Amino acid sequence: MNDEVATFVGPAIEWFSVSPIVVLLGGALLLLLVGSLTPQWRRGGYGLASAVIALTSTVLLVLLWRDISSSGPKLLIGGALALDHFAVLASIAICSAVVLVSLVTSDYLASENADSPEIYALYLTAAIGGIVMAASNDLVVLFLGLETLSLSLYLLAASNRKRTESQEAGLKYFILGGFASAFFLYGVALTYGTTGSTRLVDINLALNSYITVPRNDTLLLVGVGLMLIGFAFKVSLVPFQAWTPDVYQGSPTPVTAFMASVGKVAALVALVRVFVTAFPARADDWGPVVRVLSALTLIVGSVVAIIQVDVKRMLAYSSISHAGFILVGLEVSSHRSSPNVGDGLIAIGVYVALYAALVVGTFSVVTVVAQNTNDGATSLDAFKGLGKRKPLLALGMTVLLLAQAGVPLTSGFVAKFGIIQAAVAVGSYGLAVIAMVCAVIAAFVYLRIMVSMWSSEAMTTEPFKVSFFSAISIAIAVVVTLVIGVLPSLLLDLTSNLPQLASK
């Protein structure tokens, strides 16, 4: 035993390559330690510290992007993590969302007289889990990242102790999230039993090393199916989406913005990486399933949103529809024989990056509106007359809603057009038509909110206040939406190498 310990050599760690995670972890620990040992910080202090920490990680990720462009993608820590453009772009979206949400949360908690460092530390730990998920090349490491993200989100959903709705949302999310994790872990076990490895690259090599005649890999397919079910819960794919509107509505609104951006981006990118990297040899098996899930998610998310009367529930179903769009990109990646198969990953990368800014900005406006109502309501009535009371805020919300609808000259149009174009390029015409029709249906949902803001009289004449940090967060989201919409080449020119995933 002693000889074995003496000869053990751990994997080499390239510290700069994992520095964004180290900064987030160190920042979360430091924020908790200093926050607990010092008197209450001045208003906005905790949120600003969290934003600076996440912004530092974002800068490091941009530097890593440049290094990958010059030296190519690679695997880290003995092949456990992948460092490629796809992972870095998702990580930039995650850290950027943390910056914006931290600013909005600062104003929200200050208005509730509940400002403390714990919420921001949970944001940072959730971001760590999200980055690990996006970059995982090992199913066990992916599970660790998934649980780190999920446990943080459970606590965040239930963080408002004054509202029973928040406690209920946290409990629902915890119970259903536990089921989803169990499905995923059982799928990992069956996959390991079939291939002898949990590394995505090694699984692919194992599946390509033999051809079963007849196909008797039932155990593998069951494992893949169970993992897909686990991901479907986390991503809110139909028919596993029932928890989403209740949890989104019950959670504190800044937390809802965080879940809809960071949580969804991390789970979707991890889902795509697992299936594209580990199971391309079985694309004929999982491709049709993804096609059906995508179509159902698009239809249900768009249609059911129409009958909602609460804006948070509307946007919850809207986020389900967005997940369906991104899943179209995964279906594109299942067409391995097509020369345009790489367009799916490019479209997914662009979509998740733009979606993160869109959803944070939209929920930030909802947070501000709820703060200016006596009972924190987020119904359509709460938005009545917003155009007259706060024209700039209503204009920003209108831009963000038009972008979510996919109107030209907004980032949403760039994202949705890229997905539909990729589907057409590989011959998935039926799915492309469903996506276009559902985009039109979903536009009616956003139109209802805009009509309420601009064409209805305000329910009250009380002063309407927009806090400083919230205004900054909303302004950044709107600027990104318009700049990318008018000049899409700023982002599209950087994404041509997204299909080059790390494999060695």
Tally of structural domains, the chain: 1
Give the pLDDT means over successive 10-residue stretches in the chain (504 positions): 61 84 92 85 85 93 89 84 89 93 88 82 93 91 92 88 82 87 91 87 83 67 90 88 86 89 91 90 87 92 87 89 90 84 86 90 89 73 83 90 89 90 88 90 88 76 78 91 89 81 67
Rg of the chain over all Cα atoms, to the nearest angstrom: 22
What's the pTM value of the predicted model, to 2 decimals? 0.92
The pLDDT of residue 381: 80
The pLDDT of residue 72: 83
Q: Cα separations (Å) of 13 from 16, 19, 75, 349, 407? A: 9, 11, 11, 27, 45
- Retrieve residue 369's tokens: 């509106």
In a domain, 4, yes or no: no
The pLDDT of residue 214: 53
The pLDDT of residue 374: 64
Phi, psi of 380 (to 5 degrees): -60, -30
In a domain, 330, yes or no: yes
In a domain, 253, yes or no: yes
Distance, CA of 234 to CA of 123 (rounded, Å): 17
Distance, CA of 422 to CA of 338 (rounded, Å): 11
Phi, psi of 503 (to 5 degrees): -135, -5
The pLDDT of residue 111: 79
The pLDDT of residue 57: 93
Count of other CB atoms within 10 angstroms of residue 164: 10
In a domain, 8, yes or no: no
The pLDDT of residue 5: 57
The pLDDT of residue 310: 85
What residue type is assigned to position 443 of the chain? A
Residue with tokens 């949970």: 122
In a domain, 3, yes or no: no
Q: Phi/psi class of residue 125: alpha, beta or left (left: φ > 0; alpha: ψ in -120 to 50)?
A: alpha
Inter-residue contact 291 to 331 (CB < 8 Å) = yes
What residue type is assigned to position 14 of the chain? E
In a domain, 336, yes or no: yes
Range of the domain at 378: 13-492
The pLDDT of residue 226: 92
What is the secondary structure of 422-476 as a DSSP string? HHHHTT-HHHHHHHHHHHHHHHHHHHHHHHHHHSS--S--S-----HHHHHHHHH
The pLDDT of residue 2: 56
- Retrieve residue 448's tokens: 């209802």
In a domain, 6, yes or no: no
